[in-house]
């Protein structure tokens, strides 16, 4: 028999998608998670951070989390959670010692990085280490560091893991959960930037010495090495994820810790995503876009002039259009297609006049409007000059 692990992360309970509620979709995912854990007879569920979407989650999100904890505990399936950068570690970890007795292990305290959850199968022990998201500025002292960013604090935590593992019986297999941006991973638009504490990425070599690293933070499922993987988020949280296949990893560890089998298990999706681009008339008429009529749609219009009431027009064909962008095609013969190139060398007043012409096609500024703009820019310049003089 092998050790069967179900790896998921980045639930972001409480999050919406461009103001569309995802509550029902998150309910469906958690139903699916519990059903898979039971049907596949997994030995443990690993949740690699960002359980909630924000540090102070709403009541609906908390109720979802509470319900899934009870259901997983009822299955008798050990589950290990770590806090992510979206979570409040202190709040997520409330009652962790009590909940631990039910087989639900909340690892949110950096001081517990080297204290594993111990599992076992016919081949012997498996030590599961939960490394919560480690914000460098907050945890350096705990790891005896005077300075350093994400690589240094995560490296120190992994040194503690390896030291603990060295004291355990020979042949103990090691699994670690971590919430980090590992070099080589492909990000999307919906992850919160974690560069505040220094350089965001950490090298894959930080995780040397363990048999499987269940990663969270990046929302696309990906394999960085045979033993190093992101599960990705179970739902899409930005249109940049339109091409993602949303899954969980089912991993089987053999007697020596090698991966005997791996499988991606698809997660139910509320609606497909479509990213459409073109002139409004073409998007509304072309048969090639018929597939997107029931999707959540991001439309990028390339019309030279902004069409009147474009969102209303799009929603007549694509009723679930959620995001509208404008990227006008350059006029024929325009040698400067980029905005930066078009405004280079132009005065503030000339740039403002061009903006008005863009948003009010066919209408130049009147003399009084131009005078008002000129007076406004001059007033701003005078205030800036006075502020500089006062600072000297």
In CATH, which superfamily holds the domain spanning 3-266?
Metallo-dependent phosphatases (3.60.21.10)
CA angle 290, 284, 246 (to 5 degrees): 45
What are 22-27's contacts with CB under 8 Å, separation 24+? Answer: 22/235, 22/270, 23/60, 23/64, 24/270, 25/235, 25/268, 25/269, 25/270, 26/64, 26/235, 27/64
3-state SS, residue 287: helix
Please list the helix, strand and coil fractions of the chain in percent, rounded to the nearest 5, in that order: 35, 25, 40
Q: What angle do CA 200, 205, 206 make, to 5 degrees?
A: 60
CA distance 345 to 331: 20
Residue at token pair 């999707």:
295
Ranges of each domain in the chain: 3-266, 272-329, 338-392
pLDDT tens for the chain, residues 1 to 392: 789 999 999 999 999 999 999 999 999 999 999 999 999 999 999 999 999 999 999 999 999 999 999 999 999 999 999 999 999 999 999 999 999 999 999 999 999 999 999 999 999 999 999 999 999 989 998 999 988 889 999 999 999 999 999 999 999 999 999 999 999 898 888 887 665 434 578 999 999 999 999 999 999 999 999 999 999 999 999 999 999 999 999 999 999 999 999 999 999 999 999 999 999 999 999 999 999 999 999 999 999 989 999 999 999 999 999 999 999 987 665 555 555 666 676 777 778 877 777 777 666 778 778 878 877 877 777 676 666 555 54
């Amino acid at each position: 028999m092998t050790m069967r692990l179900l790896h998921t992360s980045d639930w972001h309970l409480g999050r919406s998608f461009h103001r569309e509620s995802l509550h029902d979709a998150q309910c469906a995912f958690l139903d699916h998670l519990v059903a898979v854990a039971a049907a596949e007879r997994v030995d443990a569920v690993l949740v690699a951070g960002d359980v909630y979407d924000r540090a102070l989650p709403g009541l609906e999100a908390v109720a979802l989390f509470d319900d899934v904890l009870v259901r997983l505990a009822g299955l008798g399936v050990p589950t290990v959670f770590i806090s992510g950068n979206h979570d409040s570690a202190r709040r997520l970890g409330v009652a962790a010692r009590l909940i631990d007795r039910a087989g639900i292990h909340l690892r949110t305290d950096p001081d517990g990085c080297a204290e594993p959850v111990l599992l076992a199968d016919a081949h012997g022990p498996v030590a599961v280490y939960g490394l919560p998201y480690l914000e460098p500025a907050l945890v350096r002292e705990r790891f005896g560091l005077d300075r350093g960013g994400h690589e240094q604090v995560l490296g120190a935590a992994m040194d503690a893991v390896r030291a603990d593992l060295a004291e355990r019986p020979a042949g103990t297999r090691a699994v670690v959960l971590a919430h980090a941006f590992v070099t080589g991973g492909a990000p999307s638009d919906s992850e919160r930037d974690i560069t505040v504490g220094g350089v965001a990425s950490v090298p894959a070599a930080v995780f040397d010495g363990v048999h499987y690293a269940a990663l969270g933070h990046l929302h696309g499922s990906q394999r960085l090495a045979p033993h190093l993987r992101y599960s990705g988020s179970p739902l899409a949280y930005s249109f940049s994820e339109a091409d993602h296949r949303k899954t969980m990893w089912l991993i089987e560890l053999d007697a020596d810790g090698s991966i005997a089998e791996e499988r991606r298990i698809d997660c139910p999706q509320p609606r497909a995503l479509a990213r459409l681009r073109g002139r409004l008339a073409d998007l509304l008429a072309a048969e090639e876009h018929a597939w997107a009529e029931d999707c959540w749609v991001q439309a990028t219009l390339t019309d030279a002039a902004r069409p009147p009431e474009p969102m209303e027009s799009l929603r007549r064909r694509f009723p679930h259009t959620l995001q509208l962008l404008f990227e006008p095609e350059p006029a024929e013969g325009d040698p400067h297609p980029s905005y930066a190139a078009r405004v280079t060398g132009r005065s503030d007043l000339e740039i403002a006049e061009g903006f008005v012409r863009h948003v009010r096609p066919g209408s130049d500024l009147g003399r009084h409007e131009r005078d008002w703009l000129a007076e406004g820019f001059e007033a701003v310049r005078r205030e800036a000059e006075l502020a500089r003089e006062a600072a000297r």
